[in-house]
Amino acid sequence: MSHTEPLAIGRTVTVKVPATTANLGPGFDTLGLALALYDELTVTVREEPGVFVEVIGVGAGEVPTDASNLVITAIAHALRAYGHDLPGLDVVARNVIPHGRGLGSSGAAIVSGIMAAKGLLEGRVELGPDDLLRLATEMEGHPDNVAPALFGGLTIAWTTEDGPQHKKLIVHRGVSPLVLVPEHTMSTELARSLQPANVPHADAAFNVSRSALLVAALTQSPELLLAATEDRLHQSYRAAAMPETNTLITLLREHGFAAVVSGAGPSILVLADDPGRRLEATALVAEHATTPWQSLMLAVDFKGATVGGHPAHPASSA
């Protein structure tokens, strides 16, 4: 039980968190990119105990609306870490990030909760970038999705004895993301279960070289994106579970597009080096796909998660 002073009744915080795409081809469990597609959250402390969540948009009528909701679990996790019990809450979640499509919806939910807790604790405890990443990674298990959701841009994430770490990089202005989203979903757990326990040394070396090249391509030389997004560690092993995704990625790459699986899939990420090329990629998929695919032409998000309008990075004052 908490022995700290209860949070102020009526205190309201608003949170905005971007979608993310992880792996980016060769950067398995390491590289992530924030995209300008946002879930928004409003959290108000109320006098009555208990939690009520209103979900608007994606997940409405499907995700829990009580304390078992992932956002609420994340709020409780963060508050508990600093000696506070979960108060009575009214929560409104306005969701646009597709669920189960490889765009970081669960990571966004976790980050939304952590950021809401940051706002609720403002003036009592100041949560810095390391605190936010640690709390989010404790719940997500991997920092590669939560890091870009928290901090924006391109992030390199890794784990040390001192916990998860990240480096944020600014993406070259010529990089133009396109996400192709199918109607069907994919379980991250299932996708991970298809990975072999060991990979050939040559494949590991191949991916190290492409990951290094990808950082250069995304920050300095977009013309290298096709070569830089080659992968031998995870996509081929998961292909059987996502046959159309695999077929379309092969087609796109044969036509010169830097296409990869977005996160665990089944969505496809195309990293174009020119905005106009996204129209060509969309047309190619529309011509050859056997099921409907939604085309999202998105900018890179550079701010990351915000609470009360303040960014969640070292410059944050909230």
Per-residue pLDDT tens over the stretch 194-211: 566 667 788 778 888 899
Residue 118 has pLDDT above 80, yes or no: yes
Q: Are 17 and 161 in a shared domain?
A: yes
Is 99 known as a binding-site position?
yes
In Å, how far are 27, 149, 231, 269 from 207, measured between CA atoms?
7, 24, 6, 18
Q: Are 125 and 92 in a shared domain?
A: yes
Residue 151 has pLDDT above 80, yes or no: yes
Residue 14 has pLDDT above 70, yes or no: yes
Q: Are 30 and 142 in a shared domain?
A: yes
Q: Are 90 and 43 in a shared domain?
A: yes
**What is the distance between the alpha carbons of residues 201 and 304, in angstroms, rounded to a whole number?**
36
Is 105 known as a binding-site position?
yes
For 69-82, what is each residue's pLDDT tens digit?
Answer: 999 999 999 999 99
231 located within any domain = yes
Q: Are 154 and 183 in a shared domain?
A: no
282 located within any domain = yes
Q: What is the CATH number of the domain that holds 198?
A: 3.30.70.890
Q: Are 181 and 162 in a shared domain?
A: no
Q: Tokens 């999202």 map to which residue?
A: 296
* Range(s) of the domain holding residue 269: 176-297
3 located within any domain = no
DSSP state of 305: -
Chain-wide mean pLDDT for the chain? Answer: 91
- What's the longest Cα–Cα distance across the chain? 62
Coil, helix or strand at residue 67: coil
Residue 215 in contact with residue 30, Cβ under 8 Å? no
Is 251 known as a binding-site position?
no
β-strand pairing of 51-57 with 306-307:
unpaired
32 located within any domain = yes
For 136-147, what is each residue's pLDDT tens digit?
Answer: 999 999 899 899
Is 104 known as a binding-site position?
yes
| Better-predicted residue by pLDDT, 31 or 188 | 31
**What is the distance between the alpha carbons of residues 185 and 49, in angstroms, rounded to a whole number?**
35
Q: Tokens 């499509």 map to which residue?
A: 101
DSSP state of 7: P
Is 98 known as a binding-site position?
yes
pLDDT band at 214 (very low <50, low <70, confident <90, very high): very high
**What is the distance between the alpha carbons of residues 24 and 261, in angstroms, rounded to a whole number?**
7
Query: Residue 21 region, left (φ>0) first, then alpha (ψ -120 to 50), else beta?
Result: beta
pLDDT of residue 127: 96
Q: Is the peptide bond before 266 cis (omega within 30 degrees of 0)?
A: yes
Residue 317 has pLDDT above 90, yes or no: no
Residue 24 has pLDDT above 50, yes or no: yes
Q: Are 125 and 205 in a shared domain?
A: no
Q: Are 19 and 147 in a shared domain?
A: yes
Query: For a pLDDT cut of 90, what percent of the chain falls above it?
Result: 79
Residue 184 has pLDDT above 70, yes or no: yes
pLDDT of residue 192: 58
What are the structure tokens assigned to 172, written together?
Answer: 């070259």
**What is the distance between the alpha carbons of residues 77 and 224, in angstroms, rounded to a whole number?**
42
Size of the chain in residues: 318
**What is the distance between the alpha carbons of residues 19 and 96, in angstroms, rounded to a whole number?**
9
Residue 198 Cα to chain centre, angstroms? 26
Q: Are 265 and 183 in a shared domain?
A: yes
For 247-298, what is each residue's pLDDT tens digit?
Answer: 999 999 999 999 999 998 999 999 999 999 999 999 999 999 999 999 999 9
316 located within any domain = no
Q: Are 186 and 164 in a shared domain?
A: no
Is 177 known as a binding-site position?
no
Backbone angles phi, psi at 205, to 5 degrees: -65, -40
293 located within any domain = yes
Mean pLDDT of 210-233: 94
Beta partners for 166?
Answer: 157
pLDDT of residue 15: 98
Residue 161 Cα to chain centre, angstroms? 24
pLDDT of residue 1: 45
Q: Are 252 and 135 in a shared domain?
A: no
Is 108 known as a binding-site position?
yes
pLDDT of residue 74: 98
Residue 318 has pLDDT above 60, yes or no: no
**What is the distance between the alpha carbons of residues 99 and 315, in angstroms, rounded to a whole number?**
31
Domain count, the chain: 2
Is 102 known as a binding-site position?
yes
Is 107 known as a binding-site position?
yes
Say what the pTM is. 0.92
What are the structure tokens assigned to 119, written together?
Answer: 């706002």
Residue 300 in contact with residue 153, Cβ under 8 Å? yes
95 located within any domain = yes
pLDDT band at 157 (very low <50, low <70, confident <90, very high): very high
Mean pLDDT of 25-32: 92
Q: Are 159 and 223 in a shared domain?
A: no
**What is the distance between the alpha carbons of residues 283 and 261, in angstroms, rounded to a whole number?**
18
Q: What is the CATH number of the domain that holds 109?
A: 3.30.230.10
6 located within any domain = no
Query: For a pLDDT cut of 70, what percent of the chain falls above it?
Result: 89
